[in-house]
Amino acid sequence: MRAGGAVLLSAALAAGATGLGARARLRTEREAHERERELTADLAHELRTPVSTLVAASSLVAPITGQLPESGREPVQLMLAETERLHRLVEDMLQLSRLEHGDGDVDLEDVAVLPLVREVLAARGWVGDVAVTSEEGVVARADRRVLARITVNVVENARRHGAGQVRVGARLERGLVVLEVEDDGAGVAPEDRERVFDRFTTTGTSTSGLGLPLVRAGARAMGGDAHFDEAPGGGARVVVSLPRAGTT
């Protein structure tokens, strides 16, 4: 074999080996991700009953907390708060598992986005902290409950990690409803914009790391998606796309 042919053959073999290695790594990553999903679901199911028992016991203690001596009041209040946080974590894990496995009971209907956003902000007491610039008449084909949860999570994320006023906008674009939430914080580095949608990924705060994974899983369960982008002012922007009303 001539030298040139040998070089070409070696290059082809090397390229083939590289391709096989990349596919093997991708398969391994997918398998690891699936095992993580199964572990999360199993853990949530195992924890649900004991955590529900703790919540029930806490509901009996909460009304009499004010009657406790001051030295004992703070530990009890901490216990109640942490019990509620654990309860939310378990419920989030279960909801994420259901959405990712197609068991989320998504009930699609035509949902006017602007009124729903305003309802969520009012219920959370966020009206004064969030500027809404949604177009009128933007109607998504969505599950109202899931879309409300998505709105809570993305606005809460912007309030926690951003700076200045949070901005929420909704518009129609190429047959889709696009819900955007922006902040004026430091933003998210391009290399981290996918990673933040991985479960239990946090940025050093006390969050569970399930808020944004729930956003993406909920959007995908309704036929849409979610991703991170950069806001015009340099902060973070979460973009949620959903089918518009009238689509199936």
Structural domains in the chain, CATH included, are: 7-100 (1.10.287), 109-243 (3.30.565.10)
Residue-wise pLDDT for 108-120, tens only, equals 999 999 999 999 9
Mean pLDDT taken over the chain = 81
Give the pLDDT confidence score for residue 206 in this predicted structure.
46
Sign of the Cα pseudo-torsion (193, 130, 232, 178, in order): positive
Please, what is the end-to-end C-alpha distance for the chain in angstroms? 60
Question: What is this structure's pTM?
Answer: 0.69
Best-predicted range by mean pLDDT among 49-53, 132-136, 219-223?
Answer: 219-223
H helical segments located in the chain: 3-61, 70-100, 113-124, 144-161, 211-221
Residue-wise pLDDT for 20-75, tens only, equals 766 666 567 556 556 666 666 677 767 778 888 888 888 888 888 888 888 888 88
Flag the least confident range among 70-74, 120-124, 225-229: 70-74
